[in-house]
Amino acid sequence: MEQHAILQVENLQKHFPIKSGLLAPGGKRTVKAVDGVSFSLERGKTLGLVGESGCGKSTTGRMIARLMDPTAGRIMVDGVDISQLRGKDLYHFRRKVQMIFQDPFASLNPRQSIGTAIAAPMVAQKITPPGGLKNRVKELLEQVGLKAEHYNRFPHEFSGGQRQRVGIARAISLNPSVIVCDEPVSALDVSVQAQVVNLLQEIQQDTGVSYIFIAHDLSVVRHISDEVAVMYLGKMVEQGSRDELFAGPRHPYTRALLSAVPLPDPRQARAQEKIRLRGDLPSPANPPSGCVFRTRCPLFGTLGEEQRQLCIDVVPAPAVAGSPACHHTALAGPLAAGVQ
C-alpha cells in the first residue's frame, strides 16, 4: 500500500563531480554514485540495503537523512518531498530522519560527556522535554540499556557495544519516523552485535520507527529486515520481501552475492551453490554501457550473441519489487562455477 509508506524514494541520483586529473580518458565528468534508485518503506518496517563496497549504500542513506543534497529525484517522507528543503524547513525536517553510524563517536568530541552528546540533537532543535533535558537524557540512557549514572562519563570509557547504544540514544531522542542505520553492528563481536540488534528491534516495536539498515553481513540483514534492496554500481538491481529475496534471488548479482555468504554450518556450506564473480566493481566514473553488471555477470557468458548485445546496448529497467534489473532473468539456470 503505497499511501501508507513513510518513506518513498523515486529515481534518486547523486553524481559527484570528478576533480580534474582523475578524469578517465574519454570518461564522463561525474561519478554516478547513486543512479536512479527507487523504493518505498512502510511505517514500523525495516528495509535492508546491501551490495558491494562502493555501490552507493551510504550515499543513498545520507541523501535520505539530507546530510547530502541529491542531484535528482524525490524523497517523500510522510508524503512531503524533502529532497529540495533548505534553511528553516530543512532544520525542522531533521527531527524526522536520523542516522546511526558504524562508530558514532568518530564524529564526537572526546572531551564531551556522554550526557552532553546525547542531549546535542535536542539542544540543536531547541527542544525542552517535559521534566527537563537532563531527565530525558537519563531516560534515554536507560531505554538503550545503559545506566543513568553514565551521564557524566566520557567516550573512551565505553566499549564498542556501549558506544553504539549511545549512538542509538542520540538517534531516537527526537522521536524520528525513520532512522538510517549505516553499518551499525559491523564492528561488533557476535554477542554484542546480538544485543544491539535486539535493542533496535525492541525500539521499533515500542515506537513504530522505520529503519533503513545498511550492512554487509547478509545474515544480520536477513534477520532484521522486512524488505531487502540490492544495489550494484549505483543502481538498484533487485528488491523484494526478505523471504522471497533470500529464498529465490533472481538477479545474477544477488544470486552470486548470496552464494558467497559463508554459512556457519559445515554441511550446508559444502552443499551450497557457489557462484564466483571475477574481478572488481568497475569504476562508477566510467561504468559499463548497457547493464552495469555485464562485465562480471556469470549469466552473460552463457548467452547467445543477440542476447549479449542487448546487455551491452540497453540499460535494464531499474528493479522494482518482484522485477529485477536484468534482461535475462527468465533464462537464469544453474550459474554455479564449482558446485560440489
Partner 1 sequence: MTQSQSSPTAVAASAPQPDSAPKPTTAPQATKTGAFLEVRNLSVKFPTDDGVVAAVNGMDFTLERGQTLGIVGESGSGKSVTSQALMGLLKGTSAQVTGEAIFQGRDLVTLPESGMRRLRGRNIGMIFQDPLSALHPFYTVGHQIAEAYLVHNKATKKQARAAAVDMLGRVGIPSPDMRFDEYPHHFSGGMRQRAMIAMALICEPELLIADEPTTALDVTVQAQILDLMSELQQETNSALILITHDLGVVAEVCDNVLVMYGGQCVESGPVDEIFYDTRHPYTLGLLKSMPTLTTKSGRLNPIPGQPPSLLALPQGCIFSARCEHAALAGDGVCASQRPQFTSEDGHGTRCHLGLPQILSIRNSR
Ligand X SMILES: Nc1ncnc2c1ncn2[C@@H]1O[C@H](COP(=O)(O)OP(=O)(O)OP(=O)(O)O)[C@@H](O)[C@H]1O
- CB 222 → partner 1: shortest distance, Å? 6
| Burial of 200 from C-beta contacts in 10 A (0-12 / 13-18 / 19+) | buried
Minimum CB distance to ligand X smaller for 10 or for 217 = 217
Is residue 58 a contact residue for Mg ion (CB under 5 A)? Answer: yes
| Burial of 231 from C-beta contacts in 10 A (0-12 / 13-18 / 19+) | buried
Minimum CB distance to ligand X smaller for 183 or for 227 = 183
Q: Taking the chain, what is the end-to-end CA distance rounded to the nearest angstrom?
A: 43
CA–CA separation, 207 and 205 (whole Å)? 6
User: Nearest CA to 10 among 79, 92, 112, 85?
Assistant: 79
- CB 190 → partner 1: shortest distance, Å? 5
Is residue 216 a contact residue for partner 1 (CB under 8 A)? Answer: yes
Is residue 263 a contact residue for partner 1 (CB under 8 A)? Answer: yes
Is residue 259 a contact residue for Mg ion (CB under 5 A)? Answer: no
CA–CA separation, 290 and 159 (whole Å)? 47
Q: Where are the alpha helices (DSSP H) in 57-109?
A: 57-64, 87-93
Q: By the 8 A CB rule, do 272 and 263 touch?
A: yes
With CB under 8 A as the rule, give the number of residues binding partner 1: 49
Residues 159 to 198 in contact with partner 1, rule: CB under 8 A: 159-160, 186-195, 197-198
Minimum CB distance to ligand X smaller for 169 or for 319 = 319
Question: From Mg ion, ligand X, partner 1, none, which one binds at residue 89 (CB under 5 to 8 Å depending on kind)?
Answer: none
Report the DSSP pairing between strands 178-182 and 97-100. Answer: parallel
Footprint on this chain of ligand X (rule: CB under 6 A):
16, 31, 33, 53-59, 284
Is residue 52 a contact residue for partner 1 (CB under 8 A)? Answer: yes
- CB 8 → partner 1: shortest distance, Å? 25
Question: Cell numbers 546480538 label which residue?
Answer: 194
Residue type, 279: G
Residues at the interface with partner 1 (CB under 8 A): 52-54, 102-103, 106, 159-160, 186-195, 197-198, 201, 216, 218-220, 222-224, 246, 256-269, 274, 276-280
